[in-house]
Amino acid sequence: MKQIAVMAVLFLVITAIAAAQGAKQKRTPPGNEETAGPLQLSILIDHSEKIPAVLVTVKNVGDDDWILPIGATISGPVSRTHLGNFKILLTTSSGMPATVLYRRIAGIEGRIDPAFTTLVRHSTYTMRLATDDYVVGETNQLLNELAGSGATLQVRYQPNEHNCPKMIDGRNPTMLRCWTNALISNAVTY
């Protein structure tokens, strides 16, 4: 009889904890608007090498861990990860928006696998976008040729739920949520 009473009390405690966590999850959206939330996106220009690069930093200021889809890895003679979920936004020095296109995928040979990283709470992850990997559609110039022109750059992170992994190394990552909302960075003068 005591065992049944103890089991009943444990069941009630576990149910109360689960209900409280469920209510907490309902109040906390699984992502954010572009400017507020647990993940923040920032950029800066790295001029330390011959070709400038855009350093993109994603910072997790929240208390949850996230899976962050970043693009795709294309296998072949040389495997390369393409950060396709990050789009460079360009405004010319005259104030006109311009289209920036990623130019490094000329063809596909081999496997295409989703690329992602895990952002644990209160951590940051920085990626390097080489400016010679991008071309400005309206002028057919490489983005690195605009260095010093006074143009403004921003980066938009735009994944979709299809980039989220279902299994990681045979383990189910359902305890980690996958970030699927857009983020926009600060603007920097290039």
* Greater model confidence, 154 or 16: 154
Same domain, 6 and 93: no
The confidence band for 31, taking pLDDT boundaries of 50, 70 and 90, is: very low
Q: What is the CATH number of the domain that holds 116?
A: 2.60.40
pLDDT at residue 165 in the model:
74
In terms of domains, do 20 and 37 share one?
no
Number of domains in the chain: 2
Contact in structure between 103 and 62 (CB atoms under 8 Å):
no
Q: How far apart are CA 166 and CA 113, in angstroms?
A: 12
Question: pLDDT-based confidence at 25, cuts 50/70/90?
Answer: very low
Residue 55 is part of which domain span? 32-189
For residue 106, name the pLDDT band (cuts at 50, 70, 90). low
**Model pTM score:** 0.74
